[in-house]
Amino acid sequence: MTSNKPKIVVLGAGYAGMMTTKRLTQKLEAEEAEIVLVNKHNYHYQTTWLHELAAGTLDPNKVRMLISDVIDTSRVDLVHDTVVEIKKDENRVILENGELEYDYLVVGLGFEKATFGIKGMEENAFSIQSVDSSRLIREHIEYQFARYSSGEDTNEENLNIIVGGAGFTGIEFVGELAEQVPKLCKKYDIDRKKVRIINVEAAPTILPGFDEDLVDYARKSLEFRDVEFRIGTKINECKPDAFVVGDDNEEIKGGTIVWTGGVQANSILGKSGFEIFKGKMNVNTDLRAPGYENTFVLGDCAWVMNKETDRPYPPTAQIAIQEADTCANNIAALLRGGELEEFVFDNKGTVASLGGSHAMGTIFEGKKLYGKTARAMKNVIDNRYLFMLGGPNLVLKKGKLRPF
């Protein structure tokens, strides 16, 4: 498709990319701009549900949807390809199978795992990063159970699942494991006591930065379901079958090792010559890349400053979705010669699932929620996003409608 209209290229169909594209189709008339959305896969997935897929508590097809089912393809040109590099000074994007020119660029390429140089972590640990990487974890765990049950592997330690990092993702993941492991034990006739779920964290607490009461609740809930914590424990190395930890280099053994301890912006940004600070890009208040007036960087690729604390907001789906609105407004303003707006984050709270009917978090002005109420609120948050993206039909098709 070639035209004389200004061309907006959106890279990545995650929360930021999908919502920006959706909003652009709503805010712009067809003759105002050509819109192109580039993504590695022909489907969009809910990154916030990947821990459930990885543990085996949610079906892979529940997590994803065809992009063409939710984006108006009469308005948007969908390109199913992998971005390799952004030639930022030439307004071109290099793809694995071609290239694209742009007048305006939106980068929503998400995160990659950050291993902080821990020896062996990159090679030996799984990560919850995409549908494919999460499906691999689920299959690997079940394979360990099947091997043990069949007598092919008699080493009980290979049943252990060790998880590095007790931040949001690590805690949500061990919560799902606490629900799934008893089911796998039943399926493969294995005594539950033989399987250990061990969460290792260098900080002195799980969920650093969370409210103390919520942390306490989460820890008790998970320990009650036999999750073991090794808090204040530094991982020195990741071997194929163990974390090596602490001053005495103790080995914590397991047949499945998952690293959830850190994320950074997609490395394409750094490779393309954009300045990266502590793993991500510091963007201007209007979400543009410093020095590049036609380029917006959103979601997990960007640090957006919280003026009140003088620290960046933690990257979340919530902020990525809100950034999409500002980005679409600002592109419309650039096209029409209007004023650009500043991004203002409206924090609606955070709820973490702890597996099954267990959850905790805060909503609105810090109101604390626990247990089934928190779990129900988590479903409301997830279904709200689906509603914004694809209306009631998408909620009915992909939403979490059943009580836990």
Ligand X SMILES: Cc1cc2nc3c(=O)[nH]c(=O)nc-3n(C[C@H](O)[C@H](O)[C@H](O)COP(=O)(O)OP(=O)(O)OC[C@H]3O[C@@H](n4cnc5c(N)ncnc54)[C@H](O)[C@@H]3O)c2cc1C
Binding site for ligand X (CB under 6 A): 12-17, 38-41, 47-48, 50-51, 82-83, 108-111, 128, 130, 168-169, 172, 266, 268, 299-300, 315-318, 320
Smallest distance from ligand X to CB 323, Å = 9
Per-residue 3-state assignment (H helix, E strand, C coil) for 201-262:
ECCCCCCCCCCHHHHHHHHHHHHHCCEEEEECCCEEEEECCEEEECCCCEEEECCEEEECCC
Nearer Cβ to ligand X (206/245): 206
**Between the CA of residue 77 and those of 16, 160, 348, what are the distances in Å?**
17, 46, 33
The residues annotated with a catalytic role in the active site are: 172
Spatial distance between the Cα atoms of 217 and 211, rounded to a whole number of angstroms: 10
Minimum gap (Å) between residue 363 Cβ and ligand X: 12
Q: How far apart are the first and last CA of the chain?
A: 47
CB of 384 to ligand X, least distance (A): 12
The residue at minimum Cβ distance from ligand X is: 14
In angstroms, what is the minimal distance from the CB of 318 to ligand X?
4
Output b/e per residue, 382-401; b: 16+ Cβ within 10 A: bbebbebbbeeebbeebbbe
- C-alpha closest to that of 234 among 198, 260, 203, 196: 203
Place of tokens 């189709």: 25
User: Nearer Cβ to ligand X, position 73 or 82?
Assistant: 82
Which of 200/265 has CB closer to ligand X? 265
| Phi and psi angles of residue 36, each rounded to the nearest 5 degrees, phi first | -125, 130
Query: What are the b/e assignments for 122-158, b being 16+ CB within 10 Å?
Result: eebbbbbbbbebbbebbebbbebbebbbeeebeeebb
Backbone angles phi, psi at 80, to 5 degrees: -95, 95
264 in Cβ contact with 111 (< 8 Å): yes
In the bound complex, what is the minimum distance in angstroms from residue 149's beta carbon to ligand X?
Answer: 28
Q: For residues 13 and 118, which CB has a smaller minimum distance to ligand X in the complex?
A: 13
Q: Which is nearer to ligand X, 199 or 266 (CB)?
A: 266
**Helix, strand, coil percentages, rounded to 5, for the chain:** 35, 25, 35
Length of the chain measured in residues = 404
Q: Does residue 45 sit in helix, strand or coil?
A: strand
Q: Whole-number minimum distance, CB 41 to ligand X, in Å?
A: 6
CB of 111 to ligand X, least distance (A): 6
| DSSP bridge partners of 264 | 112
Question: How do beta strands 305-306 and 311-312 pair?
Answer: antiparallel
Helix (H) or strand (E) holding 149: helix 131-150
Q: Which is nearer to ligand X, 94 or 190 (CB)?
A: 94
Please answer whether residues 34 and 3 qualify as being in contact, where contact means their C-beta atoms are separated by less than 8 angstroms. Answer: yes
Q: How far is the CB of 302 from ligand X (least distance, A)?
A: 8
